[in-house]
């Protein structure tokens, strides 16, 4: 018992220090209207507890339904990729592009389709959830020694036997880890869905509080959303441990790829795959709109977007408007993305040099990773103003915590033998860091960097939409409100394309660098 107490002590201390800092910050910023300390937040919460809890329950319900649907889709996709390996790259490509659809635009369109109901919240929660679960399952369903599968086959069982007896159980730790990341994401998706004009829910209260400049209330809602997300994260971690699932060594890792026969063959294969992917996505897009019988007024088809951007008399002007807004967003998002990654990895490195501090920070970083930062966007904009600083801060904070948690976790997994080797030479902490711990951190860092690409664009566009009134996020909100759906769909295409390309770029860098530094950590 004292052992457990001692282990928890650094975390408790760190949490207490953070709370004290928060309160101190309030005292320091007295007179600034946008800041509330823990005491004021607690008071606001207690005053409006029934209202807040009721709203949270509504949001939670949408999130839970979307979570279940998203994970079912993820399981189906992973099973397809496993059963037909030739389809895996195509399925992953489609899954990525759909994951990269900007909520700020899909939200309002879903709102038009569904009206005032829960539909958009549920769909966005599912969209926010399925991709991480899919990636985790893809690795988990294969993460086993070949002999386990041989064992099943040596009794004449086929793929189904493999799946039932070995793969499903071997994937369990990966699945629970994926669900752990997905649960807070689902809550975030549901809240963003509510931002688009729901009648009830925590997202609605949040917008109302921000518009009414009710600062304590805005903070109380953000804190409640954070608490629920952290609780969901903790719950799935606990469930995972209950079913005996050890946390897997590395989540969301890059896959090793078969070497093509030659460079030219590799390039040719990539081009063919991209062409196929584009064709499938266009077909899906067209087919979905067509078979759901959605009105072409708001449900634009591929040909409408191409006409709007390339064939119309006003095409050049349309393109100029779109691209100006896009560059405005990108010029803030890219630096913020880099800053978030740098600070996350940097703090992880500093903490590792102070191991006791790191032990206390890891659980807090993990808990804060699950906080839906976007839901605090209204606050940060209140605090930092509508200029570039606000957007950059939101994006950087959105990326900072997942990166910090991933990097700390990665460095914690530096092989014991490697550390012993460095100790046996009495190597300095700096040497140990550069030659052992940072290389051990790289796979986790890149996994975080990759997943941070869509997250960064989501954060930037949401901030622009809710607050700053600049960039493509604001353009999307504006065009949605004046029913300029051709522009809205063009923005969706552009953003999904940009996010997918940036993701692919980070993925390419990741494989390049990991082949050199940590080839053994690439998943099979």
Partner 1 sequence: MPKPEAPQPPEVTCRQLEKTFRSGGKAVGAVAPIDLRFSAGETTALVGPSGCGKSTLLRLVAGLEQPTHGTVDIGGEPPITVTRRAGLAFAFQDAALLPWLTVRQNVALALRLARRRKDESKIAKLIDLVGLSQFADTRPAELSGGMRQRAAIARCLVTEPGLLLLDEPFGAVDELTRERLNADLPALWQKRGTTTLLVTHSIAEAVTVSHRVIVFSPRPARIVGDFTDLPRDETGRRALMATISNTLAEASAGSSTP
**What is the smallest separation between the CB atom of 164 and partner 1, expressed in angstroms?**
10
CB-wise, 21 or 265, nearer to partner 1?
265
Min separation Cβ 149 and partner 1, Å: 9
Residue 427 CA to residue 169 CA, distance in Å, equals 41
**Residue 244 region by backbone torsions, left for phi larger than 0, else alpha for psi between -120 and 50, else beta:** left
Alpha-carbon span 422 to 416, nearest angstrom? 10
Nearer to partner 1, 150 or 273 (CB): 150
Q: Nearest approach, Cβ of 146 to partner 1 (angstroms)?
A: 9
Interacting residue ranges for partner 1, rule: CB under 8 A? 145, 147-148, 150-157, 161, 165-166, 169, 172, 244, 259, 261
**Shorter beta-carbon distance to partner 1: residue 50 or 244:** 244
What does residue 386 show for φ and ψ, rounded to 5 degrees? -90, 5
- Characterise 380 by phi-psi region: left (phi > 0), alpha (psi -120 to 50), beta (else): alpha
Contact assessment for residue 404 and residue 344, using Cβ atoms and an 8 Å cutoff:
yes
DSSP string, 198-224: -SSSHHHHHHHHHHTT-HHHHHHHHHH
**Which CB, 155 or 291, lies closer to partner 1?**
155
Taking the complex as a whole, the smallest distance from the CB of residue 196 to partner 1 amounts, in Å, to: 43
Write the DSSP symbol of residue 85.
G
Residue 165 CB, nearest approach to partner 1 (Å):
7
Q: Which is nearer to partner 1, 6 or 262 (CB)?
A: 262
- How many Å separate Cα 349 from the centre of its chain? 23
If the CB atoms of residues 145 and 415 are measured against partner 1, the closer one turns out to be 145
3-state SS track over 428-488: CHHHHHHHHHHHHHHHHHHHHHHHHHHHHHHHHHHHHHHHHCCHHHHHHHHHHHCCCHHHH
Residue closer to partner 1, measured from CB, 47 or 150: 150
Residue 159 and residue 83 in contact, taking contact as beta carbons nearer than 8 Å:
yes
CB of 148 to partner 1, least distance (A): 6
Question: Which residue has 């906080």 as its token pair?
Answer: 371
Q: How far is the CB of 170 from partner 1 (least distance, A)?
A: 8
Nearer to partner 1, 28 or 265 (CB): 265
Considering beta carbons, is residue 146 or 292 the nearer one to partner 1? 146
What would the DSSP string read from start to end of 293-325?
A: T--TTTS--HHHHHIIIIISTTHHHHHHHHHHH
Who's near 140: CB < 8 A, 6+ residues apart?
170, 171, 172, 173, 174, 175, 178, 248
Smallest distance, Å, CB 155 to partner 1? 4
Give dist(CA 71, CA 435) in Å, integer: 39
Instruction: Tell me how far, at minimum, the Cβ of 508 lies from partner 1, in Å.
Output: 22
Phi and psi torsions of 255, nearest 5°: -90, 145
Eight-class DSSP state of 470? -
């Amino acid at each position: 018992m004292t052992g457990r107490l001692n282990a928890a002590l650094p975390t408790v201390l760190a949490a207490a220090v953070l709370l004290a800092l928060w309160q101190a910050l309030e005292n320091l910023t007295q007179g600034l209207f946008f800041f509330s300390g823990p005491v004021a937040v607690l008071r606001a919460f207690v005053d409006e507890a029934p209202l807040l809890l009721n709203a949270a329950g509504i949001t939670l319900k949408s999130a839970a339904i979307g979570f279940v649907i998203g994970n079912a889709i993820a399981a189906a996709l992973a099973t397809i990729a496993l059963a037909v390996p030739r389809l895996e790259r195509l399925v992953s490509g489609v899954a990525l592009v759909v994951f990269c659809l900007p909520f700020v635009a899909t939200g309002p369109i879903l709102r038009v389709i569904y009206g005032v109901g829960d539909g958009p919240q549920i769909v966005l929660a599912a969209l926010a959830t399925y991709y991480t679960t899919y990636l985790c399952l893809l690795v988990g369903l294969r993460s086993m020694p070949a002999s386990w599968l041989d064992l099943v086959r040596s009794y004449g069982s086929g793929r189904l036997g493999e799946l039932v007896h070995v793969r499903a159980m071997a994937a369990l730790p990966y699945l629970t880890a994926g669900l752990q990341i997905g649960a807070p994401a689902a809550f975030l998706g549901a809240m963003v869905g509510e931002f688009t004009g729901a009648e009830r829910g925590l997202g609605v209260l949040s917008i109302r509080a921000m518009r009414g400049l009710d600062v304590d209330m805005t903070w109380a809602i953000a804190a409640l959303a954070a608490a629920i997300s952290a609780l969901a994260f903790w719950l799935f971690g606990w469930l995972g441990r209950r079913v005996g699932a050890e946390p897997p060594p590395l989540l969301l890792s890059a896959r090793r790829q078969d070497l093509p026969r030659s460079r030219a063959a590799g390039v040719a294969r990539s081009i063919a795959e991209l062409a196929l992917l584009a064709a499938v996505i266009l077909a899906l897009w067209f087919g979905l709109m067509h078979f759901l019988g959605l009105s072409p007024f708001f449900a634009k088809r591929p040909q409408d977007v191409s006409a709007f951007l390339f064939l119309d008399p006003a095409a050049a002007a349309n393109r100029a408007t779109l691209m100006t807004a896009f560059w405005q967003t990108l010029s803030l998002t890219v630096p913020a993305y880099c800053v978030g990654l740098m600070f996350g990895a940097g703090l992880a490195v500093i903490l590792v040099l102070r191991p006791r501090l790191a032990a206390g920070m890891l659980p807090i970083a993990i808990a804060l990773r699950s906080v839906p930062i976007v839901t605090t966007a209204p606050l940060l904009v209140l605090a930092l103003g509508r200029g570039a600083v606000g957007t950059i801060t939101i994006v950087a904070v959105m990326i900072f915590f997942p990166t910090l948690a991933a990097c700390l976790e990665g460095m914690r997994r530096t092989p014991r033998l490697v550390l012993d080797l460095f100790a046996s030479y009495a190597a300095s902490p700096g040497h140990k860091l550069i030659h052992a711990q940072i290389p051990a951190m790289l796979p986790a860092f890149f996994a975080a960097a990759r997943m941070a690409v869509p997250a960064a664009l989501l954060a930037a566009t949401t901030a622009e939409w809710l607050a700053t009134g600049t960039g493509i996020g604001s353009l999307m909100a504006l065009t949605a409100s004046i029913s300029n759906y051709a522009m809205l769909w063009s923005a969706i295409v552009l953003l999904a394309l940009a996010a997918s390309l940036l993701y692919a770029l980070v993925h390419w860098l990741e494989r390049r660098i990991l082949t050199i530094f940590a080839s053994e950590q690439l998943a099979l």
